[in-house]
Amino acid sequence: YLEFTSKLAGVPYASEAKFYPTADELGAAKARLCDGLNVVWALAGSSCHKFYPGQDTVMARILLEHPNCRIFMVGDEACQILEAGWEKEERVVCLSGKINIRDTLPLAKLADVVIGCETGVLNAVAFEDNRKVVLLSHSSHENLTKHWKNSISLAPEGLSCYPCHRLHYTREFCNEDKETGAAMCQKLIPPADVYAAVDYMEATV
């Protein structure tokens, strides 16, 4: 995508896209962090296929294996439904609909790991040093994360409709997992693989 954009603009491609927070925004984000593993989970994107039904399983494993951690769940107000059940866990911070995008991005910039589907939050930290765990849906690694720094891209195996290269706003052309309501491309990414990507990051720090 970025190579194509650069070509359209008539400029050489370079991996230079970054978000630049103000000092106040950066300070506010730092104040939220713990002294252990900090994870930002971007809960959903702009289309119906951009949420991960294995989220709770992965989060529970992170909390079990890394007692000194903090998981920040971020998104818009609609994402609050994906936060349900975590309100009483002190190491999980439910921020969906409570902070705006300019407060979210500095947090993602400072986190050890950022997890999510193909969202603006993940794109904003593409060339930062921290670990990105990207749950691909309509795009391939070649499309989106080819040049990204320190990222692990996970995609479904054996799914004929992946990658579909389309943004879905209805289920008309998107195969749905009836049990979870998620897109099959998300359902078929094993939670164990997502956790392994997080755990690999922790082992290499």
Nearest one of 131, 165, 133, 129 to 42, comparing CA atoms: 133
pLDDT score of 201: 56
* Complete edge-to-edge strand list for the sheet that includes strand 151-154: 92-94, 69-74, 37-42, 113-116, 131-135, 151-154
- pTM, entire model: 0.91
pLDDT score of 205: 36
pLDDT score of 165: 86
C-alpha 24/C-alpha 33 separation (Å) is 15
Max Cα–Cα distance, the chain, nearest Å: 51
- Whether omega for the bond prior to residue 12 falls within 30 degrees of 0, making it cis, is no
Question: Per residue of the chain (205 residues), what is the pLDDT tens digit?
Answer: 888 888 889 998 888 889 999 999 999 999 999 999 999 999 987 777 688 999 999 999 999 999 999 999 999 999 999 999 999 999 999 999 999 999 999 999 999 999 999 999 999 999 999 999 999 998 889 889 999 999 999 999 999 998 988 888 877 888 888 999 888 999 999 999 999 999 875 544 3
